[in-house]
Amino acid sequence: MKIDDFYFPVLEQPIALMDDTPWMSKINGYKAIVAPDSDDNHVISVVKDTYKLVRNEELIEPFVDQVSKLGVRWRIDPSHSFCRTNRMRLQITFPDILLKDNESDIALSLFLHNSYDQSEGVRLFWGGIRSICTNGVVFGNLLGSFYGRHTHGFNFENIYKHFGDASDKIQSVQKTIISMESTEVDEKTMDKLQKALGKRRLQDIISTDRIPDKSQWELLNDITYYISHDVAKSKRGDLQLKVSKALAI
């Protein structure tokens, strides 16, 4: 996967209502977001005039530029990256900045989100990729996150601050992992995860409707494995964030 995969033309166009007459009536207060091609315009979405179009390249170019100045190795990680006409998610992984559990290294990652259909705003989350099975996990509570609305425009907060804050908190995340490895799953944890994932989905993941005889970290790995391997890439981020909130990680 290359950065260019995320760049494609996107335009704003007025919209009009067609009836049986040869005239078209412009619809005030709304506009169309379209992706032009050689034959026609593909309509991505219809949005209010207050919606501010933030093109993928307007986010990715300054983001990658600042990441490149951090002085650490990084790579575009295809494991949880995707790009569609309406939504995108770019994953940057830092292979030398590692958390650890009893079985695997967990490389620190950044997940950058954008959409052209108002399905989500501009979002930036810290997370990790477990090397043993490429499980993706979001540490939104422990390492922080950022959200920007299209209706108010978007200014990229300094990635140095994000990176510095996350680096300072890594030891806290490591302590949390160790604590979860030694903490059994209880009813309260199951209730939170059922609300986040749905009761049936959680039962399918752990193959039981009872409290599993596992640590919280083992259960989290079961869940993140399911999300990272059995869920479409475009839907993984929302589930990962829900799990992060449910477990306060």
Contact 10, 55 (CB under 8 A): yes
Quick: pLDDT tens for 39-80.
Answer: 667 899 999 998 889 899 988 988 888 888 888 999 999 999
What's the pTM? 0.87
Dist. CA 114–CA 91, nearest whole Å: 12
Q: pLDDT for 144-176, tens place per residue?
A: 777 777 666 555 556 667 777 777 888 899 999
Q: Which helix (H) or strand (E) holds 9?
A: none
Structure tokens at 123: 């979002």
| Both tokens assigned to 100 | 């650890």
Backbone angles phi, psi at 120, to 5 degrees: -160, 160
pLDDT in tens, 125-146: 899 999 888 889 989 788 877 7
Q: Are 17 and 25 in contact (CB under 8 A)?
A: yes
